[in-house]
Amino acid sequence: MKALFCIFAALAALTAIAQQHDLKSADALKSLAFMKGDWAGKQDFNTQGGPPMSGDAANHIDDAIGGRYLCEMLSTTMPGRGPSDTRHFISFDPKIGKYTAWWFTDTSIGPLEFEGDLSDGKLVLLSKPGSPTKFRATYATPTADTLTYTLEMQRDGTWTRLFTTTYKRKG
């Protein structure tokens, strides 16, 4: 009987700790509410002096998997090509105090992993250490109905912008 009570007490303590972590994660995800919605816009690529290149971009961002993640479903359609297919899952890890993200794309086998912070109204995610290439993704809202998403790559210690997508809220 005493052993059963100890097991019950341990399970209750673990449940309370898990609820605290969920609460911190839920509060952190609420801070990303500016990203939620249906978006449409243009993705402008850095061609480093080459001819301009841009595509039509669409994005749907909403809560997913019991509210533990923000799911971003985005695609870009370039002239003469079909739309890309990408999913980003963003969460918050209270153990490390950082946002974490897994990016699944139609051009890679496994996900890219990121972690980062929300500062001055911008979510900045860096690819995890050990990644062969270092990326930085920045989400910002210059106005209430605008969302920008910029992806950069680090080369020789310098960040180079790969593209910026500027979305307008649909509806």
Question: Where are the chain's structural domains?
Answer: 2-169
Spans in the chain with pLDDT lower than 50 = 3-21
Report field, pTM of the whole predicted structure over 0.75: yes
3-state SS class at 6:
helix
Do the Cβ atoms of 88 and 105 come closer than 8 Å? no
Query: Which residue has 């739309």 as its token pair?
Result: 83
Which tokens sit at 13? 């303590």
pLDDT for position 46: 95
pLDDT for position 24: 77
Q: Give the distance, in angstroms, between the CA of residue 57 and the centroid of all CA atoms in the same chain.
A: 16
Question: What CATH number belongs to 2-169?
Answer: 2.40.128.20
Residue type at position 110 = G
pLDDT for position 171: 78
Q: Give the distance, in angstroms, between the CA of residue 81 and the centroid of all CA atoms in the same chain.
A: 25
pLDDT for position 2: 53
* Helical spans, DSSP H, in 31-171: none
